[in-house]
Chains A and B, each alone.
Chain A
Amino acid sequence: MAIIDPIINGLSSGWQHIDASALEKDRHFEADVVIVGTGAGGGTAAEILSQAGLKVIMIEGGALKSSTHFDMEERHAYPNLYQQAAALKTADKGIGIFQGRTVGGSTTINWTTSIRTPEPTLNFWQQAKSVQGLSATELQPWFEKMEQRLNIEQWQYEANRNNAALRQGCEKLGWEYTVIKRNVKGCWNTGYCGMGCPVNAKQSMLLTTIPSALDNGATLISRAKVVKLEHKGDKVVGLTAQAMTEGVKPTALTITFSAKHYILSAGAIHTPTILMRSNTPDPHKQLGKTFLHPSLLSGAMFSEQINGHSGAPQSIYSDEFVWQDGAAGELGYKLEVAPVHPVLIASKTIGYGVSHAQLMANFNQMQVTIALIRDGFNEQSPGGQVRLTDDSFALDYPLTEGFWRGAKRAFLSMAELQFAAGAKKVLPMHDGLNFFDSWNDAKQGINQLDLGLIKTIVASAHVMGGCAMGEDKTQAMVNSYGHSHYLENLSVMDGSVFPTSLGANPQLSIYGIVARNATALAQKLTQSS
């Protein structure tokens, strides 16, 4: 069955899109506002600013791919749509990171989970991080606006068996659980969100705000990697990007930009990296402090079919353990599930040879629960630090004693939950372990585990921080509207403004906060022109 591709149609209708891999010479562009990055922040800002009548250019390092290219195969999705082909890792290889690199950013490949910023997080930011004007009440209209814009609604279908196991375990144990809200319209419930929605149901930036901005006359330049801001005094005076090849490798061609205002929305690693490479002011050494929701995985074998690859990837979560000890107390963790696709599972499980082959042979009976550790709220979890290397960047993220204590509790909770949901055996993803056959065995075994770097599988799909917001310059790079404390025509509008992690999947927090900040910026820019 042929699926209509709205991106192909839009391009045919005259959208201004330049694929930098096709450029033959250096180019220069001018606009009112240049936005670096087209993910949750860049996409939202582009729509709002272009609606206000401003001339907007969006620059994206990845390629413009759409449903025509989304063939539901990991071997194509990871290299085409993810940073470093989904093989991005922290410097010590302790954490694998999944982040989008395509038009629409991570919204093109995320699992559609949409959660407002938790109130304890907002309160913590206000009390400890000098953030102003972002209380739950003040943000409510912005969340409502974006929920309406992106069709964010509670998932009405029955959860797939992978998620139902999480719900069932919570019910049995009396733990809190919530049905997830998703940004989808006409979802086919197939389960391939992580490889790009093949039926254009996911209301990602690729299908909503970016087409809207292009309809409003904005220009999109893809396969162009911004490498530097030029600044003079307290103003940004230009921006330089490198054209990339079709395979997204650097070329010698450069593209330069000048604008009245510049917005960095390149994500929580690349936004601070661009600022570092540009030697912008950072007198209090706040740039690049990064949070990851480092996550643990627990596999469980059921006697019945789970088919964790099929159906909405995430439809249930549990916050039973996120805030148990208060925001600044022992590290809390959110329980969710991960979809079960071959490459993801083969590489993020443990062992090799016959034991791994048996694990894979029971692929369809496997349920995978994940625990996302809430980092950045106290000295036990200071987060990571982005730094420049000769030709790229590295992310140092030390996994602390406090983290490993939280990880052990998370493995215990996941095993207890999976057995309560009817699992026959459970395998916490720590190298060298065998399946536990009962909750009692698991409890004893996990308590004796010597968790540690590389041996314990840790992954992240939520990169946050790196250019924190707040009114106190000793703690923050930008103010609570995302406006730079040092360069008057520079804003940051993406997950890098979060002063800690969130304790929730980040996309809706980015949409809501950026909608507020971009609206204020649009008013300012249109009044001054």
Chain B
Amino acid sequence: MKRRTFITGAFAGTAALALGVNLYSPTLTTASDDVHHRVLFSVFIPIFLDGSLPEVANHREMAINRTLDAIVQSIDHLPQAQQAELMELLDLLEGRFGLLLLSGSMTPLLGREPKQLIDMLEFWRNSFLDMLNTAYTGLRELIMASYYACPEHWGNLRYAKPTFLVSHSN
């Protein structure tokens, strides 16, 4: 699988040269990657879904876990090229140099305060670089779609599908 898809063009070349490292790693995703990515998403979910997640601790934890499962399923449905892009972004966010490149700090995301994470997202969101805008919108869409795909998260919406078909298979 080709992995050099998220970072493209002159920006990638310049950054890699400046850091003296090759940011492109052609390894395939493995099961341990998935575990790391789960940890990474568990950092982002409370930020993106602040105000939507339940406030009661164990309900909140259940909702986060349910969303993490849905994210895994959502990623599995994406075409190869989009999966590769996403994995490259996640890999970058899990490495010190990648973090420095994308957020200006080497502090692991797990060790950051919510305010610092919001600052990073706002930096991406308002950047003049399409690559960072894409990182923001890509994570946003994936997390929002995965959370609201679950019927158990529709309580606040007062949305429920009609009940005339009770025996439909999934």
Instruction: List, in ascending order, chain B residues with CB within 8 A of A309's CB.
Output: 159
A5–B57 CA distance with the chains assembled, in angstroms: 44
What's the minimum C-beta distance from A367 to chain B, rounded to whole angstroms?
15
Q: Does A360 contact B (CB under 8 A)?
A: yes
Q: Does A347 contact B (CB under 8 A)?
A: yes
How large, as a class, is the contact surface on chain B? Answer: 35 or more
Instruction: List, in ascending order, chain A residues with CB within 8 A of B158's CB.
Output: 363-364
Binds A, one of B14-22, B42-50, B90-98: B42-50
- Check B144–A356 contact: CB distance below 8 A: yes
Q: Does B2 contact A (CB under 8 A)?
A: yes
Q: Does A391 contact B (CB under 8 A)?
A: yes
Q: Does A358 contact B (CB under 8 A)?
A: yes
Instruction: List, in ascending order, chain B residues with CB within 8 A of A115's CB.
Output: none
Q: Mark B77-96, 1 if CB is under 8 A from A, else 0.
A: 11111100000000000000
- Check B169–A72 contact: CB distance below 8 A: no
Q: Does A233 contact B (CB under 8 A)?
A: no
- Check A85–B157 contact: CB distance below 8 A: no
- Check B156–A360 contact: CB distance below 8 A: yes
Binds B, one of A74-82, A152-160, A280-288, A501-509: A74-82
A360–B169 CA distance with the chains assembled, in angstroms: 28
A380–B141 CA distance with the chains assembled, in angstroms: 30
Question: A93-B134, A392-B80 in contact; A68/B168 too (CB < 8 A)?
Answer: yes
Q: Mark B99-134, 1 if CB is under 8 A from A, else 0.
A: 000000000000000000010010001100010011
Q: Does A70 contact B (CB under 8 A)?
A: yes
Instruction: List, in ascending order, chain A residues with CB within 8 A of B2's CB.
Output: 390
Q: Does A73 contact B (CB under 8 A)?
A: yes
- Check A346–B148 contact: CB distance below 8 A: yes
Q: Mark B128-170, 1 if CB is under 8 A from A, else 0.
A: 0010011001101100110111110010111101101101111
- Check A198–B77 contact: CB distance below 8 A: no
What's the minimum C-beta distance from B164 to chain A, rounded to whole angstroms?
5
Q: Does A353 contact B (CB under 8 A)?
A: yes
Q: Does A1 contact B (CB under 8 A)?
A: yes
- Check A72–B162 contact: CB distance below 8 A: yes
Within 8 A of A (CB), among B38-76: 47-52, 70, 73-74
Q: Mark A349-381, 1 if CB is under 8 A from B, else 0.
A: 000111111101101100000000000000000
- Tally of A-B Cβ pairs under 8 angstroms: 128
What's the minimum C-beta distance from A363 to chain B, rounded to whole angstroms?
4
- Check B148–A342 contact: CB distance below 8 A: yes
User: Which residue of B50, B77, B78, B79 is within 8 Å of A354 (Cβ)?
Assistant: B50
User: Which residue of B77, B147, B162 is within 8 Å of A79 (Cβ)?
Assistant: B77
What's the minimum C-beta distance from A71 to chain B, rounded to whole angstroms?
4
Q: Does A2 contact B (CB under 8 A)?
A: yes
Instruction: List, in ascending order, chain A residues with CB within 8 A of B74's CB.
Output: 85
Query: Which residue on chain B has the smallest CB distance to residue A457?
Result: B137
Within 8 A of A (CB), among B1-36: 2
Question: A68-B169, A93-B137, A346-B148 in contact; A392/B50 too (CB < 8 A)?
Answer: no
What's the minimum C-beta distance from B60 to chain A, rounded to whole angstroms?
13
A357–B133 CA distance with the chains assembled, in angstroms: 21
A3–B162 CA distance with the chains assembled, in angstroms: 14
- Check B51–A358 contact: CB distance below 8 A: yes
Within 8 A of B (CB), among A31-84: 68-76, 78-79, 84
What's the minimum C-beta distance from A166 to chain B, rounded to whole angstroms?
21
- Check B134–A73 contact: CB distance below 8 A: no
- Check B145–A347 contact: CB distance below 8 A: yes
- Check A391–B50 contact: CB distance below 8 A: no
A347–B158 CA distance with the chains assembled, in angstroms: 18
What's the minimum C-beta distance from B14 to chain A, rounded to whole angstroms?
20
- Check A1–B165 contact: CB distance below 8 A: yes
- Check A342–B118 contact: CB distance below 8 A: no
- Check A342–B154 contact: CB distance below 8 A: yes
Instruction: List, in ascending order, chain B residues with CB within 8 A of A3's CB.
Output: 165
What's the minimum C-beta distance from A214 to chain B, rounded to whole angstroms?
23
- Check A453–B130 contact: CB distance below 8 A: yes
A390–B121 CA distance with the chains assembled, in angstroms: 32
Question: A71-B170, A75-B70 in contact; A391/B51 too (CB < 8 A)?
Answer: no
A432–B122 CA distance with the chains assembled, in angstroms: 10
What's the minimum C-beta distance from A95 to chain B, rounded to whole angstroms?
12
- Check B79–A84 contact: CB distance below 8 A: yes
Query: Which residue on chain A has the smallest CB distance to residue B79?
Result: A84
Query: Which residue on chain B has the smallest CB distance to residue A249?
Result: B80
User: Which residue of B52, B78, B148, B150 is within 8 Å of A85 (Cβ)?
Assistant: B78
What's the minimum C-beta distance from A62 to chain B, rounded to whole angstroms?
13
Q: Does A144 contact B (CB under 8 A)?
A: no
User: Which residue of A1, A69, A346 is within 8 Å of B144 (Cβ)?
Assistant: A346
Instruction: List, in ascending order, chain A residues with CB within 8 A of B125's CB.
Output: 431-432
Question: A68-B168, A75-B149, A346-B147 in contact; A353/B118 too (CB < 8 A)?
Answer: yes
Question: A3-B165, A79-B77 in contact; A342/B157 too (CB < 8 A)?
Answer: yes
A383–B82 CA distance with the chains assembled, in angstroms: 23
Given contacts A3-B165, A93-B134, A356-B52, 12 further A-B contacts (CB under 8 A): A2-B167, A73-B161, A75-B70, A75-B73, A75-B150, A93-B138, A192-B161, A345-B148, A347-B141, A353-B47, A356-B48, A392-B79
Of the A-B pairs whose beta carbons lie under 8 Å apart in the complex, a sample of 26, sorted by A's number, is A2-B167, A71-B169, A72-B168, A75-B70, A84-B79, A87-B79, A87-B82, A92-B130, A93-B134, A192-B162, A198-B168, A342-B159, A347-B141, A347-B145, A352-B48, A353-B47, A356-B48, A357-B51, A357-B52, A360-B52, A360-B148, A361-B157, A363-B159, A364-B159, A392-B81, A431-B125
Interface residues of B, Cβ cutoff 8 Å to A: 2, 47-52, 70, 73-74, 77-82, 118, 121, 125-126, 130, 133-134, 137-138, 140-141, 144-145, 147-151, 154, 156-159, 161-162, 164-165, 167-170
- Minimum-distance CB pairs A-B, first 3: A357-B51, A85-B77, A75-B149
